[in-house]
Amino acid sequence: MKIELTVNGVARILEVEPEERLLDVLRERLHLTGTKEGCGEGECGACTVIMDGKTVNSCMVLAAQADGHAVTTIEGLGNRGSLHPVQKAFLEEGAVQCGFCTPGMVLSAKALLDRSPHPGKEQIAVAMSGNLCRCTGYDKILRAVERAAGEVKE
Amino acid sequence: MNGTVGGTVGGTVGGRVLREDAWGKVLGQAAFPADVRREGQIYAVAVRSPHAHARIRGLKLDEARKAEGVVAVLTSADVPHNGHGVLYRDQPVLVQDHVRMAGDPVVLVGAETLAEARTAAGLVEVDYEVLPGLFDPEEAMKEGVPALHPEIHGSTNIVYHLPVCKGNVAKGWAEAEVTVERDYQTQMLDHAFLQPEAVLAYVDERGHLVVEVATQYAHYDRGEIAHALGLKFNQVRVKTVSVGGAFGGREDISLQIMAALMAWRTLRPVKMENTREESFHSHSKRHPMRMHYKTGATRAGKLTVLEARIVGDAGAYASWSPNILRKAAIHATGPYEIPNVRVDAYAVLTNNPYTGAMRGFGAAQPVLAYESQMDLLARELGLSPMELRLRNICRVGSETATGQVLTGSVGMEECLKAVKSYLGEVSAR
Amino acid sequence: MKKRGRGLGCAWYGTGYGNGFPDVSSAFVEIHDDGSVSVLTGAIDVGQGSSTIFAQIAAEELGIDPEEVTVISGDTDVTPDSGTSAATRHTYNTGNAVIKAVAQAKASLLTYAARALHCTTADGIELKDHKVRVKGEPSRSLPLAELVSKARLEGERFLGSDSYTARTTRVNPETGQGAPYWPYAFGSQVAEVEVDTETGNVQVLRVAAAHDLGKAINPLQAEGQIAGGIAQGVGFALLEEVRLSEGRIKNPTFSQYLIPTVLDMPEIRAILVEEPEGTGPYDAKGLGEPAMLPTIAAIVNAIDDAVGVRITSLPATPEKILAALAEQSKK
Ligand code: FES
Ligand code: FES
C-alpha cells in the first residue's frame, strides 16, 4: 500500500506492507537508524519519535497509521553545528552513557518542553517515565531536562 | 573541535570531561550493530529449543530449505569445532544431540529477508525426546544424580567448590556471646541492557571474516570464532561498534559464531538481531544464590566467627561460574575483619538458563546476607548499625578471610563517615 | 499507612580477574606531528566511559587536552588485547597500560627535547600546556607541536607500546588462602524508604552513596556510575526476577520483567571518597560494579527500620512484605 508522510520536514511517498511498523519504515526504508528498537512491544521508549507534536513508540504504530502525518526523528533535531537545547543539555550534564536510550530520551524531553516550557520535577519525571535507561539511573537525564528548561539551580 | 560546548570541558585528570562519543549519541549518529548494514546482506535466525532438557532424535529441514528466499540451513554438522565458553568450551554453537537448556540453538536459517528467515525457521522440525530436568541446585548436587556434562565436567554437577578457612571456628563459637543464623536467597536476574544482541558478519576483500558486534571483549570473541571455524586469529577481525550496555551479559558468545559461520558458508554478509524475547532466552543470567549464614560476636560488638554455605545455580553451562562462586566465597565476610571463618561456596549445573557474569560478579549476592546479619546483630547487641560496623570494618593492615593483608587504599571508614549524617536516628527496634 | 525508615549497607569488591589469572592490559601510543595523539587499546567502552578516561590520562601525561587524544578501541585488526570490559578493571589496569605506553613515547620525546633546549638531561624537561619546557625555567620552552614536527624532519618518531599486569595470587583450593585481588574498592550507602503497609509497596526516597574509588579521574562519569549502580540495586532489591517454569523463562519481556523507570528512582547524593591507591593511575582504582552493591542491603535494612520485617529473599515484592507484615501481626 502507498502512504504519504513527512519525515523531518521532507515529504515522502512510500510503498509499504500492511504489517510494517513505522519503526521499520524509518530504520529499514529511510535508513534513519537513530530510532532504536529495544523491545518491540511499547515498553522501553527507545523507538520514540514525535508524530504531530506528540511522542509515540514507533514500534507500536503501523506505517499505515502514519499516513498523512508529520514525523520527527532524532536526525531531524540538530547537528554538530547547532545542537537542539535538549541535546546540548544531555551532553553537558553527562546524561549519556551507552547512548542507546538517548535518542528516545531526547525526543521525549523535546516534546515535553514544546508543550510545557517550564515543567516541574514531577512533570519531567512523568513525561520521561516511558523511556527506560539501564545505565544512568536517570539522575543526570533529569538534570539535563531541567537544564534544558532553564531551571537548573546550581 | 567539539570539546567546548557550554565550557564544561576542563582539565584533564580530575576534570568533568565530556565523553567524545556523546555527540554521536545525542545526534542519533552512533551506530550500534543493528544499525550497520552491507550491500547484499542476508538475515539469519536461530531455531532454539523450547525444552530445558532433551535428546534430539532427528531434524526435518526439507521444508525450510525449500522455503522462499532461503539461502542456507545449517546444523551442528556444519560447525568444524562445535564448542565455546569462557573457561570451558562446554557450550555448543549448534546443539548436536543433547539440549541442556531452553533457548539452546539447534538450527540456523539464513534467508534473503528477515521475514523469510523467520518463516523458514518456523518450518524446521526438530524431533525432541524430552528428558527429566534438574531445576534445583540442591538436588542436582546430590550424589547419584545424573551428570549433565560427563565429558567435560565429570560425574558430578558440582562444577566448583571453594572452602575458605581461617582461624578456628570452634574457638570463634566459644568466644561468641551473641549468634545470628539465617537463610538468604537471591533471585535470577537479567542484565536487560537496552540494546538487544545484534551482529553483522561478512567476508571482506582480503578473504578475512569480519564480525561487527557489540561485545565486552573483542579479542575473546575473535578467539572463539576462529576456534569454532578452524581459522587463524589473523583471518578473523572482530570490530566493536557502539555497545548498548553490557553489565556482564556480553561476556559470553551470543550470535557471533552463528553469524560468522553463516557468512563463511554462504559468502554473503549476514545480519542477526535478537528480539528482546530471544535476548532473554539466550544470554547468561545472574546466579540465584542460597546462602546460609551463622555469625557470632562478643557483647562488646566484635565479630568472632562466621560460618556460611553458599550454593549458586550455574544453569546449563559453566560460563564464569567457578570464578563467580569463588568471588562469593572470598567476599562472604563483607568488608569486616573476622578472625575465624569457614565458608563453602558451590556452583552447581542444572537445566536452568546458564548463569554468568553480571555487575558484581558473585560479590553482589552475599551483600544481602552479610549486611542483614550486621543489622540483626546490632539489634541483638543494642548497638547502632553504624557503631557495630565501625567496630569491625577493614582498615589498612586488616587481614581478610583469605589471609590477605590490606596495605593500600582501604576507604571503608571514610565511606561510612561520609554517609553517617544521612542515617539520622535509626530507631533501635 | 505509609511508614518511613532508613537503612545502611556496606560492601567491598576485589577488582581485576583475580586468583592469579594473568590480568594484562596493553596499549599502543603514537604522538602525531602536530602534538596530537592516538591511543589504541582493546578495552571497549560499553557505556562506562573507559575511552574518556584513557584520553584524560594520556592528555595529562603529555600536557595536552583530552580532545587532542583519539582513543581507538576494540578492533582486533588494529588494537592490542586489553582484556575484558568487566571486573571493574579498565580504569586501573588499562589505565596503567596507557600510562606505561605513553611513558615510552614521552621518554624519547623528552630526550630529544633536552637536546633541542640545551638541557643536559631529559629529567630536566616537562610537558605542560602544550609546551616543552625546562623545569624551573619556563621561559626556555618550545611549543610541543613545533618540537614534534621538527623531530619528524630529523627522523625521530615518538611511539609507545606496553602492558600492565595486575597483582594477584591464586588461592589455595583446599583452604581459600591467598591474595586473590588487588585493589579492593569500598562503598557505603544509606537508603530512605517509604513502605505502604496496605499495599506492601516500597518507594525508595533518597540514597546517599559514598564510594572509595582511589581517585576520581572523571567525577562526572563517576557520579553517573553511582546513579546507574543504584538503579540496578533498586531493581535487584525490589523489582526484578527471571521466573522459571521447568527451566523455561516465563517473563521474557519488558512488560513482565520490570526494570526501574525514572519513577522508581530515589533522589541521589553521590559522594566520591578518594583514598589514594598508589599502584593505580593517578591513584585511581575502580568503581563500576561496587556502585550497585550497598544499595541492595541499604534498602532491605531500611524496610526493616520502617516496618520491622526482615526480608531474606529477593526481590522484596509487595506480596512478600504483606506476608511478612501479616506474620508479624500474628505474633
Ligand atoms: S522498541 Fe518500541 S517501545 Fe521498545
Ligand atoms: S545510557 Fe544506556 S540505556 Fe540509557
CA distances from B385 to A91, B176, B334, B374, B376 (A): 40, 18, 14, 7, 9
Number of C-beta neighbours around residue C156 at 10 A: 15
**Chain B environment of A99 (Cβ under 8 Å):** 21-22, 24-26, 30, 242, 244
**Chain A environment of C259 (Cβ under 8 Å):** 132, 134
Residue C289 designated active-site: yes
Residue in the structure block whose three cell numbers are 511522542? A55
- Residue B383 · residue C315 · CB < 8 Å: no
Helices (H), chain A: 22-24, 85-93, 102-115, 121-128, 139-148
- Report the distance separating Cα A15 and Cα A24, nearest Å: 12
Residues of chain B with pLDDT under 50: 1-10, 426-429
Q: What is the pLDDT of residue C325?
A: 98
pLDDT tens readout for residues C128-149: 999 999 999 989 999 999 999 9
**Chain B environment of A140 (Cβ under 8 Å):** none
- Report the distance separating Cα A144 and Cα A150, nearest Å: 10
Mean pLDDT of chain A: 96
In ligand 2, which atom is closest to the CA atom of B245? 2
CB-based contacts of C281: which residues, under 8 Å, 6+ apart?
A: C57, C91, C92, C95, C96, C98, C99, C217
- Report the distance separating Cα B139 and Cα B232, nearest Å: 43
- Report the distance separating Cα B263 and Cα B92, nearest Å: 18
In ligand 2, which atom is closest to the CA atom of B194? 3
Q: What is the pLDDT of residue C138?
A: 87
What is the A132 CA–ligand 1 centroid distance (Å)? 9
Ligand 2 binding residues, C-beta < 6 A? A 97-101, 133-136; B 194, 245; C 47
Using a cut of 0.90, tell me whether the model's pTM lies above it: yes
In ligand 2, which atom is closest to the CA atom of B195? 3
The CA-to-CA distance between both ends of chain B, in Å, stands at 59
In ligand 2, which atom is closest to the CA atom of A134? 3
Residue located nearest, by CA, to atom 4 of ligand 2: A133
For residue B251, the Cα-to-chain-centroid distance in whole angstroms is: 7
Mean pLDDT of chain C: 97
- Residue C68 · residue C145 · CB < 8 Å: no
* All cell numbers assigned to C226: 553511582
Determine whether the interchain pair B28/A74 forms a contact, defined as Cβ–Cβ distance below 8 Å: yes
| Closest to B39 (Cα-Cα) out of B198, B204, B215 | B204
**Chain C environment of A94 (Cβ under 8 Å):** 220-221, 223-224
Q: What is the pLDDT of residue B2?
A: 31
Burial class of A129 by CB neighbour count within 10 A (0 to 12, 13 to 18, 19+): middle
Q: State whether the beta carbon of A17 lies less than 6 angstroms from ligand 1.
A: no
State yes or no: pLDDT of A36 exceeds 80.
yes
- Residue B269 · residue B39 · CB < 8 Å: yes
For residue A134, the Cα-to-chain-centroid distance in whole angstroms is: 17
Q: Is the ipTM of this complex over 0.95?
A: yes
Residue in the structure block whose three cell numbers are 521499520? A24
State yes or no: pLDDT of A145 exceeds 80.
yes
Determine whether the interchain pair C228/A142 forms a contact, defined as Cβ–Cβ distance below 8 Å: no
Q: State whether the beta carbon of A101 lies less than 6 angstroms from ligand 1.
A: no
The pairing of beta strand A10-15 with beta strand A2-7: antiparallel
Determine whether the interchain pair C273/B411 forms a contact, defined as Cβ–Cβ distance below 8 Å: yes
Determine whether the interchain pair A136/C227 forms a contact, defined as Cβ–Cβ distance below 8 Å: yes
Q: Residue A124 corresponds to which amino acid?
A: I
- Residue C263 · residue A126 · CB < 8 Å: yes
| Closest to C42 (Cα-Cα) out of C57, C30, C60, C54 | C54
Contact status of B77 with chain A (Cβ, < 8 Å): no
What average pLDDT score do residues C209-224 get? 98
Burial class of B427 by CB neighbour count within 10 A (0 to 12, 13 to 18, 19+): exposed
Look at chain B and count its residues. Answer: 429
Determine whether the interchain pair B248/C86 forms a contact, defined as Cβ–Cβ distance below 8 Å: yes
Contact status of C232 with chain A (Cβ, < 8 Å): yes
Q: Which of C42, C248, C313 sits opposite B102 (nearest CB)?
A: C248
- Report the distance separating Cα A30 and Cα A6, nearest Å: 12
Angstroms from A72 CA to nearest CA on chain B: 12
Q: Which of C253, C254, C268 sits opposite A137 (nearest CB)?
A: C268
State yes or no: pLDDT of C42 exceeds 70.
yes
DSSP letter, residue A12: E
Q: What is the pLDDT of residue B425?
A: 54
What average pLDDT score do residues C160-179 get? 97
- Report the distance separating Cα A23 and Cα A60, nearest Å: 8
| Closest to C158 (Cα-Cα) out of C202, C101, C213, C196 | C101
Residue located nearest, by CA, to atom 3 of ligand 2: A133
State yes or no: pLDDT of C331 exceeds 90.
no
- Report the distance separating Cα C35 and Cα C67, nearest Å: 12
| Closest to B367 (Cα-Cα) out of C150, C176, C301 | C301
**Chain A environment of B196 (Cβ under 8 Å):** 37-38
CB-based contacts of A35: which residues, under 8 Å, 6+ apart?
A: A23, A26, A27, A46, A47, A48, A49, A58, A73, A74, A103, A104, B28
For residue B206, the Cα-to-chain-centroid distance in whole angstroms is: 35
- Report the distance separating Cα B342 and Cα C176, nearest Å: 10
- Report the distance separating Cα B79 and Cα B265, nearest Å: 10
Determine whether the interchain pair A78/B8 forms a contact, defined as Cβ–Cβ distance below 8 Å: no
CB-based contacts of C100: which residues, under 8 Å, 6+ apart?
A: C27, C160, C162, C163, C164
Burial class of C92 by CB neighbour count within 10 A (0 to 12, 13 to 18, 19+): buried
Share above pLDDT 70 across residues of chain B, in percent, rounded to a whole number: 96
| Closest to B317 (Cα-Cα) out of B102, B122, B29, B117 | B102
Angstroms from B333 CA to nearest CA on chain C: 10
- Residue B427 · residue B378 · CB < 8 Å: no
- Report the distance separating Cα A71 and Cα A38, nearest Å: 20
pLDDT tens readout for residues A53-109: 999 999 999 999 999 999 999 999 999 999 999 999 999 999 999 999 999 999 999
Domains and CATH numbers, chain C: 2-15+181-329 (3.30.365.10), 23-164 (3.30.365.10)
Given the residues C60, C289, C319, C327, the one annotated as active site: C289
Residues 83-122 of B with CB under 8 A from C: 101-103
- Report the distance separating Cα B389 and Cα B376, nearest Å: 12
- Neighbours of A, requiring at least 3 CB pairs below 8 Å, are B, C
Residue located nearest, by CA, to atom 3 of ligand 1: A42
Determine whether the interchain pair B5/A83 forms a contact, defined as Cβ–Cβ distance below 8 Å: yes
Residue in the structure block whose three cell numbers are 513505522? A22
CA distances from B37 to A72, B258, B377 (A): 23, 17, 59
